[in-house]
Amino acid sequence: MSELKPRKDLLDIESLGLDEIEYVLGNAVPFKQLFQRSVKKVPTLRGKTVLNLFYEPSTRTSSSFEVAANRMSADVTNFSVSSSSIVKGESLLDTIETLQAMQSDYIVIRHQAAGVPNIVAKHTGASVINAGDGYHAHPTQALLDSMTFREVHPDYAGKRIAIVGDVLHSRVARSTSTLFHKQGIEVGVLGPGALIPEGRPDFMQRFQSWEDVFDWKPHAIYLLRVQMERQEGPFFPSIAEYHKMYGMNSERLVSMRKLGAYLMHPGPVNRGVEVTDEAMGYEKSLISTQVENGIAVRMAVLHWLKPETQMD
Amino acid sequence: MSDSPNITTSELLSPDRIESAIFSLAQAVRESCGDNDFALVGIFTRGVTLAKRVAKILADEGLICPVGTLDISLYRDDFDNEGTDLPRLESSDIPFPIDGTRVILFDEVIFTGRTIRAALDGLMDYGRPSKIELAVLIDRGHREIPIQPDYVGVVVPSELNEYVKVRFVENDGTEGVFLVTK
Amino acid sequence: MRLFKNGKIASGASPELVNADVLVNEDGVIVEVGPSLNGGDAEVTDCSGCVMVPGMFDLHVRGREPGFEHKETLKTCAAAALHGGITGVVLMPDTSPPIDSGNQLKSVQDRIVELGSIEMLQAGCLTAGRAGKELAGYSGLAALGVPMLTDSDRSIDCPDLLRRCMEYARDFDLLVTSHCETSALAKAGVVNEGRLSYRLGLPGLPAISQEISLVRDLALARHTGVRLHLQQISTGVSLDAVRLAKRAGVRVSCEVSPHHLMLSEEDITNYDTAFKIQPPLQKRENNEALLAGLLDDTIDVFASGHAPHTAFEKSADFGSAPWGASALETAVLAIYDRFIRVGKFNWDLLIRKYSSAPRQLVGLDPVAISMGEKANFFVFDVEAETKITPDYFRSKCSVSPFMEETFQGQFRETLIEKY
């Protein structure tokens, strides 16, 4: 453990070593156990400040970080940047200067432009946690996905997970698939041709149909949200068509049951698009566990990262 | 143990001596608690070993008591983690209700008292014990917090530039208490 | 009088360098070229280890004046060009207001005369306001000797409009210059679509955006008979189309920038906006294809594509930052270090394609280092090194993908008898 160098920022999965991943996921387990106690808090980050800087709306992720920080006894400030201040052209560097003046220890940032957390991390001494930047990365999502899968499959190496949906616009697909691959889990993808990028890494093997996916005997299906708000062109004919071709419906649920495969989704779920109501009640759905693990993982990340002020 | 220049190590307690000290500790606990219920909670890492050994001695004498484990990394006020900045957290496990229970905390060494202070905070976030007592194998003095053990195996006077290292077979593969001087 | 002694002279005629001295008089005319000259009381400049090269001419430069003087001015642009061995440029009309009429052109030309520095030709727009809807004022522009027509950075979406632009321009024998991009495909793309756009999570701009537009413009040029020049070729597929068109007799020329010859999308490792240039850097195999295109004369000229912006503007995130980098002062250095020094081609190719051919395309005579010619050359020390740092630049813009690179070669000075 003393070989692990302290790290200031968590910007993506790509740059993490397996030892670092094991460390964080290992620590997430005791953090999760705290949830059983009546006092769910620990005093570890008392006196430290966490700034939630969300340029894109998200109650789900920002509240998960808020709960995690609160449970570490940190002081949390939520800074919701309306799109109007971006339109006004307040530059990123000006915002960063303001952030510096606030002297937060941790900055959790979500932004619609890829690369912004990297810029912020370069210009502040705070520990920067990427909560999602454009199509690029969502590292804490990947970590909680891995934690969730490992709970049901402790011998995870060599297992198979198929990701279904809009990979092109999905930072979750990128980070989660990268992490699974690093851990020796095989990754397959299924989706409309226009949404499965040619530039994807070689390890992401493409399936043409649900039949092909199930023939491959996956241990879990990971559904992606259809990014209605990110479509800047016609990628598939209609929602109805998408649901027919790629949705988790009763018929596909039968195959899931036969395989004993688990169902995962980063949330929020579009009922009637990626899933049916019936699928949401599937007994091997890990969706709510993912949410619970999200808090534990984010606590472990806050515990792990060291702002410049704490490094010697 | 090989010594680098300026570091000297000497054995303070032999395995036999340790065994008899732990035995006395167990007897002292038994006498004090009498017929009342109590639980043992060991502080990670070697406090857990100590608590388990004491529990075994008591069980051999017909006294069964629950044993819990407590990781206090999240409660520490310093980073004196034997050189690692990145502590691996252990899963605390208190498999019994804390509310209204008499708890005996176990650690292998008490020094400044800060570890025990953190353990008290950690334990009380699980509930409200009726009483908390402290049992240690070694008391090496130099308290910085007003905390004193209720049960002590051996008192070992030490200097501030010395380390008192306890080694248990279960954790380290060897057994002994050593004094290391830099 | 100045005597440049002990140097070697390069020319477009032959790859061989000639050991010779050059004597220039007070009027800036070369009075003698030959070995071991006696210059009398001329000021002697020792050119040992140096090559004297005819001044370069860059067909694709942004002077940003009028309207964007915070990024660059004609004065700083000229200083940057001189610093990089470039003695003449064609300025893009993407100014504010854009140069779409004789009046606009006249006012820039007056400014250029006032500046009295290097040779600067101002291009005119293809469409009014560069809006892609109506023709600009060609007759007024032609009357003032506009060197080419281009909407710079904008492609005309409507093929019918482009056809009319070409037919009308042909009547004035004007050179139509295209920035080849298909806006419906380019959309929000900020980086080449492929492995890199996936990895960085940025919207991708597919190479077919250039390739489709280029093929369309070639077909229109073939149909109308206009002289067409294609800017900033970046893929082997585009080159193949140009080859075919040339073989079929289309009057087309095309340019390549040192950035696209040497860099590829693999060089964009993080979100450094210095690498956000137009067209986007492509996959590495295209570097080879572009070099082959230079060697087989499919590519006619080098052009830097100089597009200065302020450091503040380029400090935005990769998606929002404007396209472009400072290119005038690194062009020759990069070409020398990566190609000439290692023998991929020689000085003569550089001179043909970065001095003579570009001048010829806009109706100017080539320059040479010979007796009776006006002095128009730069002295280049092939033994010294140049490290690219922010201080290196005379341009207002010091954003460059070559930042922190060290190139073999160093500019000693650039001579230009004021025209």
What six digits make up the tokens of A124? 């502040």
- CA–CA distance, C261 with A264 (Å, rounded to integer): 46
pLDDT at residue number B83? 42
Please report, to the nearest 10 degrees, the dihedral formed by the alpha carbons of residues A277, A280, A284, A288 taken in order: -170
- CA–CA distance, A48 with C164 (Å, rounded to integer): 67
**Domains assigned to chain C:** 2-51+372-416 (2.30.40.10), 55-361 (3.20.20.140)
pLDDT at residue number B85? 66
Rounded percentage of chain A residues whose pLDDT exceeds 70: 93
A205-207, strands of its sheet edge to edge: A205-207, A186-190, A160-164, A220-223, A262-264
Compute the average pLDDT of residues C39-64.
95
CB within 8 Å: C199 and A199? yes
pLDDT tier at C245 (50, 70, 90 boundaries)? very high
Is pLDDT above 80 for B37?
Answer: yes
CB within 8 Å: A30 and B121? no
CB within 8 Å: A114 and C317? yes
pLDDT at residue number B5? 67
- CA–CA distance, C295 with A95 (Å, rounded to integer): 49
Closest by CA to B38, choosing from B47, B50, B51, is: B51
Q: What is the 3-state secondary structure (H, E, C) of chain A?
A: CCCCCCCCCECCCCCCCHHHHHHHHHHHHHHHHHHHCCCCCCCCCCCCEEEEEECCCCHHHHHHHHHHHHHCCCEEEEEECCHHHHHCCCCHHHHHHHHHHHCCCEEEEEECCCCHHHHHHHHCCCEEEEEEECCCECHHHHHHHHHHHHHHCCCCCCCEEEEECCCCCCHHHHHHHHHHHHCCCEEEEECCHHHCCCCCCCCCEEECCHHHHHHCCCCEEEECCCCHHHCCCCCCCCHHHHHHHHCECHHHHHHHHHHCCEEECCCCCCECCCECHHHHCCCCECHHHHHHHHHHHHHHHHHHCCCHHHCC
Which residues in chain A touch residue B75, judged by CB atoms under 8 angstroms apart?
A: 42-44
Q: Which residue of A has its CA nearest to B98?
A: A37
**A116–chain C Cβ distance below 8 A for any pair:** yes
CB within 8 Å: C197 and A197? yes
Is pLDDT above 50 for A84?
Answer: no
pLDDT at residue number B87? 83
- CA–CA distance, C225 with B59 (Å, rounded to integer): 103
Is pLDDT above 70 for C378?
Answer: yes
pLDDT at residue number A87? 46
pLDDT tier at A55 (50, 70, 90 boundaries)? confident
What stretch of H or E contains B51?
Answer: helix B46-60
- Crossing angle of helices A171-182/A18-33, nearest 10°? 100
Judging contact as 3 or more Cβ pairs under 8 Å, the answer for B and A is yes
Task: Find out whether B95 and B68 touch, Cβ atoms under 8 Å.
Answer: yes
Compute the average pLDDT of residues A275-296.
95
- CA–CA distance, A147 with A291 (Å, rounded to integer): 11
Alpha-carbon distance B77 to nearest alpha carbon in chain A (angstroms)? 8
Judging contact as 3 or more Cβ pairs under 8 Å, the answer for B and C is no
Domain positions in chain B: 15-73+92-159
**C204–chain A Cβ distance below 8 A for any pair:** yes
pLDDT at residue number B3? 53
CB pairs under 8 A between A and B: 49
34-73 in chain B: CB under 8 A from chain A: 71
Contacts of A10 (CB under 8 A, 6+ apart): A16, A127, A128, A129, A130, A139, A140, A301, A305
pLDDT at residue number B182? 77
Closest by CA to A127, choosing from A185, A67, A69, is: A69
**A197–chain C Cβ distance below 8 A for any pair:** yes
CB within 8 Å: B75 and A42? yes
Average pLDDT value over all residues in chain A:
91
Which residues in chain A touch residue B125, judged by CB atoms under 8 angstroms apart?
A: 37, 39, 41-42
pLDDT at residue number A30? 95
pLDDT at residue number C223? 97
CB within 8 Å: B75 and A23? no
Q: Which residue of B has its CA nearest to A40?
A: B125
pLDDT tier at A234 (50, 70, 90 boundaries)? confident
Which residues in chain A touch residue B86, judged by CB atoms under 8 angstroms apart?
A: 1-2, 4, 6, 23, 304
Task: Find out whether C55 and C83 touch, Cβ atoms under 8 Å.
Answer: no
Is pLDDT above 70 for C96?
Answer: yes
| C159-179 pLDDT tens trace | 999 999 999 999 999 999 999
CB within 8 Å: A115 and C187? no
- CA–CA distance, C106 with C111 (Å, rounded to integer): 9
DSSP C92-141: -S-SSS---SHHHHHHHHHHHHHH--SEEEE-B-SBGGG-SSSB--HHHH
Q: Which residue of C has its CA nearest to A113?
A: C319
Alpha-carbon distance A43 to nearest alpha carbon in chain B (angstroms)? 6
Q: Which of A56, A133, A196 to mutate to test the interface with C (most CBs of C within 10 A)?
A: A133
pLDDT at residue number A231? 56
Q: Among all chains, which residue has been given the structure tokens 């990769």?
A: C318
**A23–chain B Cβ distance below 8 A for any pair:** yes
Which residues in chain A touch residue B83, judged by CB atoms under 8 angstroms apart?
A: 2
What stretch of H or E contains C331?
Answer: helix C331-335
- What's the fold here for domain B15-73+92-159? Rossmann fold (3.40.50)
ipTM score above 0.90:
yes
pLDDT at residue number A238? 83
**C202–chain A Cβ distance below 8 A for any pair:** yes
CB within 8 Å: C202 and A201? no
- In angstroms and rounded to an integer, the radius of gyration of the C-alpha atoms of chain B is 16
Name which of B74, B85, B88 is nearest A26 (Cβ-Cβ). B88
CA-to-CA separations, A72 to A9, A295, C129, in angstroms, rounded: 18, 11, 59
Which region among A146-150, A219-223, B161-165 has the lowest average model confidence (pLDDT)? Answer: B161-165
**B95–chain A Cβ distance below 8 A for any pair:** no
Task: Tell me the pairing of strands C175-178 and B131-139.
Answer: unpaired
Which residues in chain A touch residue C185, judged by CB atoms under 8 angstroms apart?
A: none
Percent helix, strand and coil across chain C, each to the nearest 5: 35, 20, 45
pTM of the model: 0.91
Is pLDDT above 80 for C417?
Answer: no
Which residues in chain B touch residue A304, judged by CB atoms under 8 angstroms apart?
A: 86
Q: Which residue of A has its CA nearest to C187?
A: A232
CB within 8 Å: B74 and A303? yes
**C271–chain A Cβ distance below 8 A for any pair:** yes
Task: Tell me the pairing of strands C406-416 and B39-43.
Answer: unpaired
Which residues in chain C touch residue A111, judged by CB atoms under 8 angstroms apart?
A: 317
With vertex at residue A63, the alpha carbon angle to CA B93 and CA A182, rounded to the nearest 5 degrees, is 65
147-166 in chain B: CB under 8 A from chain A: none
Which residues in chain A touch residue C317, judged by CB atoms under 8 angstroms apart?
A: 92, 111, 113-116, 119
Which residues in chain B touch residue A21, judged by CB atoms under 8 angstroms apart?
A: none
CB within 8 Å: B127 and A38? yes
β-strand partners of B11: B178
Task: Find out whether C206 and C297 touch, Cβ atoms under 8 Å.
Answer: no
Alpha-carbon distance A279 to nearest alpha carbon in chain C (angstroms)? 30
Is pLDDT above 90 for B19?
Answer: yes
**C195–chain A Cβ distance below 8 A for any pair:** yes
**Domains assigned to chain A:** 18-137+292-304 (3.40.50.1370), 139-286 (3.40.50.1370)
Is pLDDT above 90 for A83?
Answer: no
| C305-360 pLDDT tens trace | 999 999 999 999 999 999 999 999 999 999 999 999 999 999 999 999 999 999 99
Name which of B71, B86, B93 is nearest A23 (Cβ-Cβ). B86
Positive or negative: CA dihedral B80, B85, B90, B94 = positive
Q: Which of A13, A15, A91, A195 to mutate to test the interface with C (most CBs of C within 10 A)?
A: A91
Is pLDDT above 60 for C63?
Answer: yes
pLDDT at residue number B81? 42
Is pLDDT above 70 for B82?
Answer: no
pLDDT at residue number A102? 83
**C270–chain A Cβ distance below 8 A for any pair:** yes
Q: Which of A37, A40, A72, A73 to mutate to test the interface with B (most CBs of B within 10 A)?
A: A37
Is pLDDT above 50 for A1?
Answer: no
Q: Which residue of A has its CA nearest to B77?
A: A44
pLDDT tier at B34 (50, 70, 90 boundaries)? confident
DSSP C235-303: -HHHHHHHHHHHHTT--EEEEE-HHHHH--GGG--S--GGG--SSPP--THHHHHHHHHHHTTSS-EE-
pLDDT tier at B80 (50, 70, 90 boundaries)? very low
Is pLDDT above 90 for B129?
Answer: yes
CB within 8 Å: A41 and B125? yes
| Cα C370 versus chain centre, distance | 25
Name which of C187, C198, C201 is nearest A133 (Cβ-Cβ). C201
Neighbours of chain C (3+ CB pairs under 8 A): A
